Amino acid sequence: MSDQNDHQNEMGSDAHGAPLTGGPNRTDGRDGPGVFVPPPLLFGGAAAAGVILDGSAPGWPPLADPLRFAGILGALSGLVLIVICLGLFRRFQTRPEPWQPDQALIASGVYRFSRNPMYLGMALLCLGIAMLFKSLVGIILVGIAFVVIDRYVVAREEAYLARRFGSKYDAYRAKVRRWF
């Protein structure tokens, strides 16, 4: 019985063993946070635009430069974080797209440390790419994209999750920081 309880907690359950799923839908008949710009497009577009605007896109950069090496580490770390998050979404049978309704509140794995590890992974990946190409404009644009994600995507998602999961999300939000 203990193994089953441990598995249920690992899969996302509250302190009483109830799965962290379900909750009230929006009153307008639609379910979802109302996010209208895909965050990967925003982050990726910022990094790509910066690299292109800086003119640092042609050719593959040598790996000896410390900034480029840090960029590779950042990009790989971000990619690993994204893959971990996608695995959790698959495991909990919910969609990662923020404009789709959530079927489960994921509160385990990397989500024990950050409420938004997927977006952190995207930011690290794109920041790493900008650093790899020594694109100051890319670094700045990824920073701006991060602020836009925080203010316009995460804020909508949090309001939606509070409606969808109620006190379960409130308890999660009180325990886990938004970013770090």
CA dihedral for 141, 142, 144, 149, sign (positive or negative): positive
Task: Tell me yes or no: is domain 67-180 CATH 1.10.287.110.
Answer: no
d(CA 88, CA 12) in angstroms, rounded, equals 10
pLDDT above 60: residue 51: yes
pLDDT above 80: residue 59: no
**Average pLDDT estimate for 3-23:** 38
Give exposure, 108-140, as e/b (b: 16+ Cβ within 10 Å).
Answer: ebbbeebbbbbbbbbbbbbbbbbbbbbbebbbe
| Domain boundary assignment for the chain | 67-180
Q: How confident is the model at residue 25 (pLDDT cuts 50, 70, 90)?
A: very low
d(CA 74, CA 71) in angstroms, rounded, equals 5
Q: For 91-143, what is each residue's pLDDT tens digit?
A: 999 999 988 888 999 999 999 999 999 999 999 999 999 998 888 899 999 99
| Three-state SS letters, 102-158 | CCECCCCHHHHCCCCHHHHHHHHHHHHHHHHCCCHHHHHHHHHHHHHHHHHHHHHHH
Closest residue by Cα to residue 6 from 92, 108, 98: 108
User: For the chain, what percent of residues have pLDDT higher than 90?
Assistant: 61
Q: Report the pLDDT value the prediction gives residue 12, as an integer from 0 to 100.
A: 46
**Mean pLDDT, all residues of the chain:** 82
- Within 8 A by CB and 6+ apart from 39, the residues are 98, 118, 119, 122, 149, 153
User: For the chain, what percent of residues have pLDDT higher than 70?
Assistant: 78
Q: Report the pLDDT value the prediction gives residue 99, as an integer from 0 to 100.
A: 83
Identify the weakest region by mean pLDDT among 8-12, 80-84, 115-119: 8-12
Identify the weakest region by mean pLDDT among 59-68, 107-116, 150-159, 162-171: 59-68
Please report, for the chain, how many H helices and E strands are present, in that order: 7, 0
Q: Report the pLDDT value the prediction gives residue 115, as an integer from 0 to 100.
A: 97
* Coil vs helix vs strand at 99: coil
Q: How confident is the model at residue 18 (pLDDT cuts 50, 70, 90)?
A: very low
Its pTM stands at 0.79
| Cβ 19 vs Cβ 12: under 8 Å | yes
The partner residues of 21 in beta bridges, in order of sequence, read: 104
Closest residue by Cα to residue 163 from 22, 54, 43: 22
Q: Report the pLDDT value the prediction gives residue 4, as an integer from 0 to 100.
A: 35
